[in-house]
Structure 1
Amino acid sequence: MNDGKEWQLALPEFLLEAEMLLAKSEECLSHLHLIRNDNDAIDCMKSSLAKLSQKADAMALRPICEFSRHIQDLISNAACPLQLHDQALSALQECLTLLAWQLELIDSKTGQLGLDDSEQVALIATVSQQIPQNGARYKAQQRLPHTP
Structure 2
Amino acid sequence: MANDAPHNSALQDFLVDAQVLLTKAEECLLHLQLIDNDPDACHCLNDTLGTLVTRAHTLGLVEVAAYSLQLQTLLEPAQVHPALQGEALQALESCLTLLAWQLELIDPHTGRLSLDTEEQVQLLDTLATALSPATALACASCIETRYPCEHPAPSLTAPLTAQSSALSSPAKGN
Q: TM-score, normalised by structure 1?
A: 0.87
Q: 1:18 & 1:79 partners in 2: Cα distance?
A: 23
Q: 2:73 & 2:129 partners in 1: Cα distance?
A: 14
CA-CA distance at 1:92 after TM superposition: 0.5
Correspondence for 1:145: 168
CA-CA distance at 1:58 after TM superposition: 0.9
Correspondence for 2:121: 121
Q: 2:94 & 2:40 partners in 1: Cα distance?
A: 21
SS in 2 for 1:82: coil
Deviates more, 1:137-146 or 1:46-55: 137-146
Q: Where in structure 2 are there 5+ consecutive unaligned residues? A: 139-147, 150-160, 162-166
Q: String of CA shifts for 1:15-71, please: whole Å, max 9, x gaps.
A: 111111111111011001111131000000001001101111011111100100101
Q: Where in structure 1 are there 5+ consecutive unaligned residues? A: none
Q: What residue identity is the alignment partner of 1:109?
A: H
CA-CA distance at 1:77 after TM superposition: 2.8
* 4+ long deviations beyond 4 Å: none
SS in 2 for 1:101: helix
User: Per chain length, whose mean CA-contact separation is higher, i.e. which structure has more relative contact order (CA < 8 Å, sep 6+)?
Assistant: 1
Q: What residue identity is the alignment partner of 2:108?
A: S
Q: 2:67 & 2:108 partners in 1: Cα distance?
A: 20
CA-CA distance at 1:138 after TM superposition: 6.0
Q: What residue identity is the alignment partner of 2:135?
A: R
Percent identity of paired positions between Structure 1 and Structure 2:
42
CA-CA distance at 1:117 after TM superposition: 1.2
Change (3 A) 1:92 1:117: same
Q: 1:68 & 1:40 partners in 2: Cα distance?
A: 19
- Equivalent pair of 1:21/1:48 in contact (CA under 8 Å): yes
Correspondence for 1:51: 51
Change (3 A) 1:121 1:67: same
Number of matched pairs? 144
Q: 2:59 & 2:99 partners in 1: Cα distance?
A: 15
Alignment RMSD: 2.1
CA-CA distance at 1:109 after TM superposition: 1.8
Correspondence for 1:83: 83
Q: TM-score, normalised by structure 2?
A: 0.75
Q: What residue identity is the alignment partner of 1:146?
A: S
Correspondence for 1:74: 74
Q: 2:22 & 2:91 partners in 1: Cα distance?
A: 15
Deviates more, 1:78-87 or 1:104-113: 78-87
SS in 2 for 1:77: helix
